[in-house]
Amino acid sequence: PAIFALRSSHFSTAAEPSSKQGSPPSVPNLIGGSFVKSQSSASIDVINPATQEVVSQVPLTTNEEFKAAVSAAKQAFQSWRHTPVTARQRVMFKLQELIRRDIDKLALNITTEQGKTLKDAHGDVFRGLEVVEHACGTATLQMGEYVSNVSNGIDTYSIREPLGVCAGICPFNFPAMIPLWMFPLAVTCGNTFVLKPSEKDPGASVILAELAMEAGLPDGVLNIVHGTNDIVNAICDDEDIKAVSFVGSNTAGMHIYSRASAKGKRVQSNMGAKNHAIVMPDASADATLNALVAAGFGAAGQRCMALSTVVFVGGSKSWENKLVEAAKALKVSAGTEPDADLGPVISKQAKERICKLIQSGVESGARLLLDGRNIAVRGYEHGNFIGPTILSNVTADMECHKEEIFGPVLLCSEADSLEEAISFVNRNKYGNGASIFTTSGVAARKFQTEIEAGQVGINVPIPVPLPFFSFTGNKASFAGDLNFYGKAGVNFFTQIKTVTQQWKNLPGSGVVNLAMPTS
């Protein structure tokens, strides 16, 4: 299928269906307003994880093309920064309308390249769309501060100004939402942007950029480059890039954080997770069970806020049996199948890694209550499928608990008390999200206070904050000072200039005072 229905006249070949061309379309760079085919001789296949079909080829953007993208962004910044904020917001108003218009096309692209179900892919787009909606009104968050007469006849005020060229490096698991966490807010604050989508599913970024340009984003304000480690390092090192937003694994994130920071850039780095749910004996049974199954296996566990470990307080047996029954009932198939509950994992390598972690759990003493490793999915025999898998008797020091699995695997553990459960969760190095299921306000409040996680759910399994708040992972799940989106996001994409002004008739006393001025 023609995944890139590019309207840009600069890149007509990519609009051709692959069957006509005989080879899959090449994913274009976007440089200075033009979608252009990379001159690179090296590319990576974008593979449909349900079928192994090559959907497209993503180039390793050349260094010259990367420099051209940064230079286009630098040039566009000169006029974009002076474009009134209301005009910048209006582009976002139009963009949110166009995303709604094309949401089915975006979702189909996501399912084709990433594998999640179409319904879930709609959610991926929608949660990003909400950030675009929020960007429509961020002028108030860009307001400065003013104190009159800080000294005799002197006023001081601060202004939030854009940084210049910013860059974003994306993971595979939310091909629309994560780019939309990044560029809409950055450009509405007056910056220009260089986006590096995941090499595994770059299609949604290209479609979103087309829509942004259709919405009136001027040439050069948003640019797209492709590749892996080399282009990421080039972003970290480039003198003209002032800030880097990263979402992905800890290995890449900590490398990017230190390399880009060493070059004086701002970095916000959202990384891996191990999200826990504590289930109290008084929790509402059906609602809790549904929440655990949905948050544990939805998106095949490939969400940074997926619930991957449950700690049952006061005995797990009655819960575990029901959990296994509910998980068994889930339908595993290609995301395009209307009755699919979960699709494949992203790659053969990911499947191998997940299976190894399951095996390591078994070998270190966990009980395998449900094993999805050898699932056969009719019609999609080559897909990277793993069925829902449940391990119980998991302890804090097991490899499968210490590491992020990022697959449809739910670990179960037991604790005698809420204190013990909280301490089990807090021992884990990650601190993205954690939830409690209870009908006790006292337990919920203790959990909220003592849990070491950035995003806390109380009877809510995936507490991803809406865009007027920020995404607030902590511990090993985040590096940086200013989180994604919300007020913190606007602060990340702006710097403060403080002006001290004096407007009075100065008496020419002729005296030069070299002492530090005081009021």
Catalytic residues, by residue number, are 304
CB atoms within 10 A of CB 139: 15
Determine, following the binding rule CB under 6 A, whether residue 271 of this chain makes contact with ligand NAD.
yes
Determine, following the binding rule CB under 6 A, whether residue 347 of this chain makes contact with ligand NAD.
no
Q: How many residues of this chain bind ligand NAD (CB under 6 A)?
A: 29
Q: Which residue among 185, 232, 279, 391 contacts ligand NAD (CB under 6 A)?
A: 232
Contact call for residues 31 and 54 (beta carbons, < 8 A): no
Q: Which residue among 113, 133, 199, 210 contacts ligand NAD (CB under 6 A)?
A: 199
Residue among 272 and 457 whose Cβ is closer to ligand NAD: 272
In degrees, rounded to 5, the angle at the alpha carbon of residue 184 between the alpha carbons of residues 179 and 185 is 110
Determine, following the binding rule CB under 6 A, whether residue 173 of this chain makes contact with ligand NAD.
yes
Region binding ligand NAD by CB under 6 A among candidate stretches 193-201, 321-329, 352-360, 363-371: 193-201
What whole-number distance in Å separates Cα of residue 63 and Cα of residue 489? 29
Determine, following the binding rule CB under 6 A, whether residue 257 of this chain makes contact with ligand NAD.
no
CB of 247: closest distance to ligand NAD in angstroms? Answer: 5
What whole-number distance in Å separates Cα of residue 450 and Cα of residue 463? 17
Determine, following the binding rule CB under 6 A, whether residue 474 of this chain makes contact with ligand NAD.
no
Determine, following the binding rule CB under 6 A, whether residue 170 of this chain makes contact with ligand NAD.
yes
Determine, following the binding rule CB under 6 A, whether residue 162 of this chain makes contact with ligand NAD.
no
Residue among 70 and 313 whose Cβ is closer to ligand NAD: 70
Region binding ligand NAD by CB under 6 A among candidate stretches 65-73, 143-151, 228-236, 385-393: 228-236
CB of 432: closest distance to ligand NAD in angstroms? Answer: 5
CB atoms within 10 A of CB 342: 26
Beta strands 43-47 and 54-59 are antiparallel
Residue among 232 and 425 whose Cβ is closer to ligand NAD: 232
In degrees, rounded to 5, the angle at the alpha carbon of residue 219 between the alpha carbons of residues 218 and 222 is 90
| Percentages (nearest 5) of helix, strand, coil residues in the chain | 40, 20, 40
- Block residue for tokens 């826990």: 276
Q: Which residue among 99, 132, 209, 247 contacts ligand NAD (CB under 6 A)?
A: 247
86-115 positions binding ligand NAD, by CB under 6 A:
none
Can you point out the beta strands (E) in 402-452?
409-415, 430-431, 433-437
What whole-number distance in Å separates Cα of residue 92 and Cα of residue 79? 18
Q: Which residue among 118, 136, 252, 476 contacts ligand NAD (CB under 6 A)?
A: 252
What whole-number distance in Å separates Cα of residue 61 and Cα of residue 41? 9
- Single-letter residue type at 242: K
- Block residue for tokens 């889930």: 330
> How does DSSP classify residue 242?
E
> How does DSSP classify residue 200?
T
Residue among 102 and 201 whose Cβ is closer to ligand NAD: 201
Residue among 26 and 250 whose Cβ is closer to ligand NAD: 250
Residue among 260 and 310 whose Cβ is closer to ligand NAD: 260
Question: Mask: binding to ligand NAD, 300-339, rule CB under 6 A, as x and -?
Answer: ----x-----------------------------------
Q: How far is CA 492 from the centre of its chain?
A: 16
What whole-number distance in Å separates Cα of residue 28 and Cα of residue 33? 12
Q: Which residue among 228, 364, 459, 474 contacts ligand NAD (CB under 6 A)?
A: 228
Region binding ligand NAD by CB under 6 A among candidate stretches 154-162, 271-279, 380-388, 442-450: 271-279
Region binding ligand NAD by CB under 6 A among candidate stretches 17-25, 154-162, 269-277, 413-421: 269-277
Contact call for residues 14 and 202 (beta carbons, < 8 A): no
Q: Which residue among 77, 80, 312, 406 contacts ligand NAD (CB under 6 A)?
A: 406
Q: Which residue(s) pair with 154 in the sheet?
A: 151, 502
Region binding ligand NAD by CB under 6 A among candidate stretches 18-26, 226-234, 351-359, 489-497: 226-234
Q: Write the burial class of residue 156 (CB in 10 Å: 0-12 exposed, 13-18 middle, 19+ buried).
A: middle
Determine, following the binding rule CB under 6 A, whether residue 220 of this chain makes contact with ligand NAD.
no
Q: Which residue among 6, 92, 224, 273 contacts ligand NAD (CB under 6 A)?
A: 273
Q: How many alpha carbons fall within 13 Å on the CB side of residue 144?
A: 15
What whole-number distance in Å separates Cα of residue 69 and Cα of residue 219? 11
- Which residue sits closest to ligand NAD, CB atoms considered? 248
Q: Write the burial class of residue 118 (CB in 10 Å: 0-12 exposed, 13-18 middle, 19+ buried).
A: buried
Provide the binding-site residues for ligand NAD, judged by CB under 6 A. 169-174, 196, 198-199, 228-229, 232, 247-249, 251-252, 255, 270-273, 304, 404, 406, 432, 471, 473, 477
